[in-house]
């Protein structure tokens, strides 16, 4: 949704800043706590947001639990909208949490109705009234649309509409209702008006049966429509619609909408003589064009107002142009760039100084596979594995090479203890033979077993995808479709050592 809003804003010639309040992204924005709820309510009152999109969790309002007796029981109904009086502890907690979210959403809707924001879209499943079949036939499940705050919001000028999400491209009906602060036109398959019910509580309208009105299109159409009416409302422009009132969704041929299309023709595979190319050579020193390229980047950045006297300076002990990399990332709008400046003096290990967060890029990690339990003792010195003794000469030669390259530092045990004091651990070593034929070996520093250093290093950014499985799946899809695709794998020797560790007084060294 955030990407759709930003694209729509770009089309309208403006820029949108999207703030997502989602506990799955950041554990600290838990709306179950009153402190967090009051914080966002105050920000709304202060006028910090132009538009609000609400989609509170609705598991305790689900109609699915009414289908039979084989799953969890309902925790509320239309007669007891805030929860039944007789519930188990788990069911009571579920009902209370759902009620908290519903109350908070109602407060936000009322604030927007009073004028604290320009646009509102509050999404929940439609209230379909009494059940027509099943063991609970005739009973009416609870719905957030029965909440009094939402009725007050409608009285203050907001509008409510209903539609089947199948009309926006999803492969199932999913009747949905929106509470909107928006005065523009609606697509023909979006029906305005409050839900109406017969005397027995059964649903009458305004939404027709899904078989009577269904249009399968693009799955992302709903996000694009909401983004379009949001931006058009906030920028006081009208959203594009066809003469029939249906939202005009750009097609793949509409390059004004698909902003990532490359210019000119694209060549995928082909026949004829093999293509050839020539790489610039020059060994480790590289080719003469490197300095020209760096100067070109500097000129390009300065024209965009990004200036740094040390832009083309390499910090002593570092192989990379860290400031140049950071400036290029700034020009590209990458929020995860400041760590490159920190790398000049050294990056934290993550024990005495926690690792930083990058909330604009990654969601927050709240659980770790290696838990540092207080009752499990950490050792300061662990004997090496037997494989180290079998390849002792290789290990000593490898360490001497690393010392020569500046990747390791050689010191006596006494100096080691004086420098690092109690913040030190001597991890177990092992040697892995990666290739018997060539004799390729690798030294492993086990910072997990015994010393339990890895248990204390908590990476606070979570990256779900893309991973190895996603990449393999993409290659399989390319292969199945007949598109020529290949991946290049490379191994730069000693790459992991080409960085500084921050060694302030009291730092830990493994």
- What angle separates helix 148-155 from helix 89-113, to the nearest 10 degrees? 10
| Per-range mean pLDDT, top range of 51-60, 166-175, 250-259, 311-320 | 51-60
H and E: helices and strands count for the chain: 12, 11
Residue 510 above 60 pLDDT?
A: no
pLDDT in tens, 28-82: 778 888 888 888 899 888 888 889 999 888 888 888 888 888 888 999 988 898 8
H-helix or E-strand spanning residue 456: none
**Residue 236 DSSP code:** T
% of the chain at pLDDT higher than 70: 80
Report the distance separating Cα 378 and Cα 73, nearest Å: 46
Is the model more confident about 507 or about 184? 184
Lowest mean pLDDT among 95-109, 150-164, 448-462: 448-462
What integer best gives the mean pLDDT of the chain?
78
| Per-range mean pLDDT, top range of 409-413, 450-454, 474-478 | 409-413
Pairing, β 51-54 against β 363-364: unpaired
Report the distance separating Cα 27 and Cα 163, nearest Å: 33
Q: Measuring CA to CA, which residue among 166, 244, 246 is closest to residue 208?
A: 166
Rounded to an integer, the average pLDDT of 256-277 is 42
Domains and CATH numbers, the chain: 1-236 (3.40.50), 283-369 (no CATH), 377-482+492-509 (no CATH)
**Residue 247 DSSP code:** B
pLDDT of residue 327: 92
Q: How many CB atoms are located within 10 Å of the residue 274 CB?
A: 4
**Beta carbons of 49 and 108 less than 8 angstroms apart:** no
pLDDT of residue 161: 92
Q: Measuring CA to CA, which residue among 68, 52, 58 is closest to residue 20?
A: 52
What are φ and ψ of residue 125, in 5° steps?
Answer: -65, 155
pLDDT of residue 160: 92
- pLDDT band per the 50, 70, 90 thresholds, residue 177: very high
What are φ and ψ of residue 151, in 5° steps?
Answer: -65, -40
What's the distance, CA 462 to chain centroid? 8
Report the distance separating Cα 38 and Cα 28, nearest Å: 14
Write the CA distances from 190 to 21, 65, 146, 219, 223, integer angstroms. Answer: 27, 27, 21, 16, 14
H-helix or E-strand spanning residue 160: strand 159-164
Is the model more confident about 116 or about 29? 116
Is the model more confident about 22 or about 195? 195
Rounded to an integer, the average pLDDT of 109-125 is 90
Write the CA distances from 507 to 422, 425, 437, integer angstroms. Answer: 10, 11, 41
């Amino acid at each position: 949704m955030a990407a759709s809003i930003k694209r729509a804003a770009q089309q309208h010639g403006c820029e949108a800043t999207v703030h997502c309040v989602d506990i799955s992204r950041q554990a600290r924005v838990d709306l179950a706590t009153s402190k967090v709820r009051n914080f966002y309510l105050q920000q709304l009152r202060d006028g910090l947001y132009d538009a609000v999109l609400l989609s509170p969790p609705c598991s305790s309002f689900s109609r699915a639990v009414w289908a039979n007796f084989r799953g969890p029981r309902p925790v509320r109904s239309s007669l007891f909208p805030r929860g039944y009086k007789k519930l188990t502890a788990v069911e009571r907690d579920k009902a209370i949490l759902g009620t908290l979210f519903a109350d908070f959403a109602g407060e936000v809707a009322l604030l927007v109705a009073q004028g604290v924001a320009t646009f509102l879209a509050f999404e929940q499943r439609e209230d379909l009234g009494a059940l027509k079949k099943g063991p609970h036939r005739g009973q009416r499940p609870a719905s957030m649309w029965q909440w009094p705050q939402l009725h007050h919001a409608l009285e203050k000028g907001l509008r409510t509409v209903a539609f089947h999400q199948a009309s926006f491209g999803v492969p199932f009906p999913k009747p949905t209702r929106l509470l909107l602060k928006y005065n523009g036109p609606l697509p023909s398959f979006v029906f305005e008006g409050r839900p109406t019910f017969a005397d027995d509580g059964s649903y009458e309208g305004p939404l027709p049966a899904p078989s009577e009105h269904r249009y399968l299109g693009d799955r992302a159409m709903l996000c694009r429509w909401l983004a379009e009416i949001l931006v058009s409302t906030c920028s006081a422009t009208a959203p594009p619609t066809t003469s029939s009132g249906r939202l005009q969704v750009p097609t793949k041929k509409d390059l004004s909408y698909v902003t990532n299309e490359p210019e000119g023709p694209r060549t995928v595979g082909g026949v004829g003589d093999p293509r050839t190319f020539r790489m610039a050579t020059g060994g480790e020193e590289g080719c003469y064009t490197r300095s020209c390229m760096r100067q070109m980047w500097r000129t390009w950045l300065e024209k965009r107002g990004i200036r740094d006297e040390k832009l083309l300076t390499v910090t002593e002990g570092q192989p990379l142009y860290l400031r140049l990399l950071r400036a290029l990332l700034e020009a590209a709008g990458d929020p995860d760039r400041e760590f490159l400046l920190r790398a000049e003096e050294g990056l934290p290990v993550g024990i005495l100084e926690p690792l930083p967060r990058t909330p604009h890029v990654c969601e927050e990690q709240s659980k770790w596979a290696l838990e540092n339990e207080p009752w499990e003792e950490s050792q300061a010195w662990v004997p090496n594995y037997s494989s180290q003794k079998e390849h002792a000469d290789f290990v000593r030669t490898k360490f001497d090479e690393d010392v020569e390259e500046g990747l390791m530092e050689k010191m006596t045990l006494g100096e080691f203890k004086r420098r690092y004091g109690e913040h030190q651990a001597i991890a177990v070593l092992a040697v892995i033979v990666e290739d018997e034929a060539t004799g390729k070996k690798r030294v492993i520093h086990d910072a997990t077993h015994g010393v339990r250093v890895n248990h204390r290093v908590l990476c606070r950014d979570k990256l779900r995808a893309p991973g190895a499985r996603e990449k393999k799946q993409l290659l399989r899809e390319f292969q199945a479709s007949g598109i020529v695709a290949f991946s290049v794998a490379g191994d730069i020797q000693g790459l992991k050592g080409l960085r500084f560790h921050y060694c302030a007084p009291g730092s830990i060294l493994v």
